[in-house]
Structure 1
Amino acid sequence: MRDKLLSENNLSIIEKAASTFGAGKNISATTVEEIVPEAKTASIKGLNNVSGLKTKRLPLDFARLRHYGIITPEDKKTTITEQFRVIKRPLLMSAFGPNPIKNGNLIMITSSLAGEGKSFCAVNLAMSIAMEMDNTVLLVDADVSRPMIPKILGLEENKGLLDLLLNDKLSVPEVLIKTSIEKLSVLTAGTQHPNANELLASQSMGLLLKEIVKRYEDRIIIVDSPPLLLTSEARVLANQMGQIVLVVEAGETSQQTVRETLRQIESCEVVNLIYNKARSFSDKDLYVTYEPY
């Protein structure tokens, strides 16, 4: 049975509501919404040598990202930046604190079902951590059948995770995309494949994760995975993670569904909960509110 490390003085209304799920050691919750409209993808410009290999560099459009509720380095004290500051603290402590857990820097962002906003939360969490003075981030799009990170960030489709799994001569630095945020790099899902989900549960995936953790032991690795109740491969992937963040859509996902999901990931030492709900927003701002479950 996991202990709940919750401070009543620091919990918001929504965090107290989230605690009713019994989600694990670290429970944090926020209310955000995945909003990815049709938009032209940004072109990738420039090359940068990393370990003798060329790594693509992507200039991020901060104005576009802010328009759709994504945290940027120019956002100092908005509601959403403050929410993700709260969410990332226990994750960073488990990864690099006085008593770090095994593979604590390997963090899976997932949900029970599709459409709960996990990819949006994954990107915002990555952006928030990348704004830290002492932390760098690798954002991995492992939702290989429905990759959303390129649409959110404005990336073109490129070689990525699936290509690494299918071609052992390809190396991580060759497909890694460095962004105009110095401490944020992205590994996209890569070239689509009919057995994409099966590849997530393959031995090659396990070996690749070990390689990434070893190569980038000094950075946070955020993995946006498929929903846990929709693919068995996602559950196999979860067993290899140090920490899991479960995104729950407020007012839509039942407590029974969440409890079933939590049973699927009992082997993970640290499970966090994001309670995800946002009301409507204007053309310029994303309005975020706390609401009890």
Structure 2
Amino acid sequence: MERIKLAIEKAKAAEGDSGWSGASQLHDANDPEASAKGSTRREGASADLGSMRYLQTTVVSLDAAHLESHRVISHQKSHPDSWAFDVLRTQVLQKMDENGWRTLAVTSPSVESGKTVVSINLAISIAQLTNRTSLLVDFDLRRPSVARSLGLDRPLSLNDYLSDRVDLGEALVNPGIERFVVLPTNQPVTGASEVLSSSKVGNLIGDLRERYADRIVIFDLPPVLAADDVMTVLPRIDCVLMVVGSGVSTQSEVEEAMTRLSKANLLGVVLNKDEVPAQNAYY
């Protein structure tokens, strides 16, 4: 209780110094300490983002059957395949920590490779670490599918933030999993490449990266060969993981995708949809 009182007093003092005004109490579900202890906190608007404010993150409950039908299983430690995403998580985090990276893009050479499934399961697996939080952003603006895969049915999303209809905090959602927050996209965005190259998106990426030191931000991007969206936004993201669906992409498609990613920090390639029985050899 004493820590909570001190935090409130500190927040009031900060408000007096900065002149910021807004909601009197804020609870960010992506802050593990605030989530665990019920503390309140204030977030001033970033100098680069003008009036952006983080409001209380909406918490929703997901349907377990829907998740499993869409191959979202990393939250089930009893599931025989969940270990694969834990292995991927450990290897990804070790490499990111070595370089001080906090933002990760997930893409694929072509469609139907399973990049969104990998993005979701990896983000959930990271959030299960008590010293980490994860934020999953649907940046596949032409064919967004994160909300559909999770079974999220909310009226507000990244679309509304990009159109200046809501503050960012109103578009964020905690899908009932501790330390995990999602920024979904509900509808395809016209001029996706131009939007991803805009200063608004650049400021958004920077703010999401810097706001919490323990947070890993995962961006679900479109396939590399689908358009120039990936090449447009990758310079703003620390590193990238490529998902290759077994039997989905041709060798020439994989090679071309690797060429287009040659200037990015490529962590590695995940082989997905492999029909060979898994025996602790995910890659």
Indicate the TM-score class for this superposition, using the shorter chain for normalisation. 0.7 to 0.9
1:72 CA drift (Å):
4.7
Structure 1 residue corresponding to 2:241, chosen from 240, 245, 253: 245
List 4+ stretches of structure 1 deviating above 3 A.
48-52, 190-193, 287-293
Q: Which residue is 1:137 aligned to?
A: 134
Which protein is bigger by CA-based radius of gyration? 2
What is the CA distance between 1:201 and its match in structure 2? Answer: 2.1
Task: Choose from 172, 184, 194 the match for 1:176.
Answer: 172
Structure 2 residue 104 is matched with structure 1 residue 107: yes
Give per-residue Cα distances to partners, 1:219-250, cap 9 Å, x unaligned. Answer: 11111011111111221112222121101011
Q: 1:206 offset after TM fit, Å?
A: 1.4
Shift of 1:146: 0.8
Query: Using the alignment, how far apart are the partners of 1:187 and 1:288 within structure 2?
Result: 34
Distance 2:85 2:107 in 1: 16
Residues 163, 288 of structure 1: alpha-carbon distance in 2 compared, 3 angstrom cutoff: farther
List per-residue Cα deviations over 1:59-95 (Å, max 9, x = no partner). Answer: 122243234431253x225442111111111211133
How big is the shift at 1:57? Answer: 1.2
1:55-204, aligned counterparts within 5 Å?
55-73=57-75, 75-96=76-97, 99-101=98-100, 104-167=101-164, 170-204=166-200
Match of residue 219 from structure 1? 215
Distance 1:141 1:154, change over 3 A: same
Paired residue secondary structure (1:260): helix
1:292–1:217 distance in 2 versus 1, CA, 3 Å: closer
Structure-1 residue corresponding to 2:46: none
Distance 1:263 1:215, change over 3 A: same
Write the letter of the residue equivalent to 1:147: P
Contact 1:79 1:288 in 2 (8 A): no
Q: Which shows bigger deviation, 63-72 or 53-62?
A: 63-72
Alignment partner of 1:199: what SS? helix
Conserved? CA contact 2:271–2:282, under 8 Å? no
Higher RCO structure, 1 or 2 (CA under 8 Å, sep 6+): 1
- Count of residue pairs the alignment pairs up: 233
User: Is the contact between residue 65 and residue 72 of structure 1 (CA under 8 Å) also seen in structure 2?
Assistant: no
Measure, in 2, the Cα distance between the counterparts of 1:252 and 1:292: 17
TM-superposed deviation, 1:162: 3.3
Matches of 1:60 and 1:256, distance apart in 2: 39
Does the CA contact (< 8 Å) of 1:117 and 1:247 recur in 2?
Answer: yes
CA distance in 1, matches of 2:160, 2:227: 20
**DSSP 3-state at the match of 2:178:** coil
TM-score, normalised with respect to structure 1: 0.71
Residues 73 and 82 of structure 2 are in contact (CA less than 8 Å); yes or no, is this contact kept in structure 1?
yes
1:228 and 1:152, CA in 2 relative to 1: closer, same or farther beyond 3 A?
same
Q: Which runs of 5+ in 1 are unaligned?
A: 1-47, 280-286
Q: Larger helix proportion, structure 1 or 2? A: 2
> Quick one: distance in 1 between partners of 2:120 and 2:270?
14
Q: Please report how far the alpha carbon of residue 193 of structure 1 lies from its aligned counterpart in structure 2 after TM superposition.
A: 3.5
The CA deviation string for residues 244-264 of structure 1, in whole angstroms up to 9 with x for no partner, is 110101123122211211111
Report deviation, 1:278: 4.6
> CA-atom RMSD, angstroms?
2.6
Amino acid at match of 2:208: I
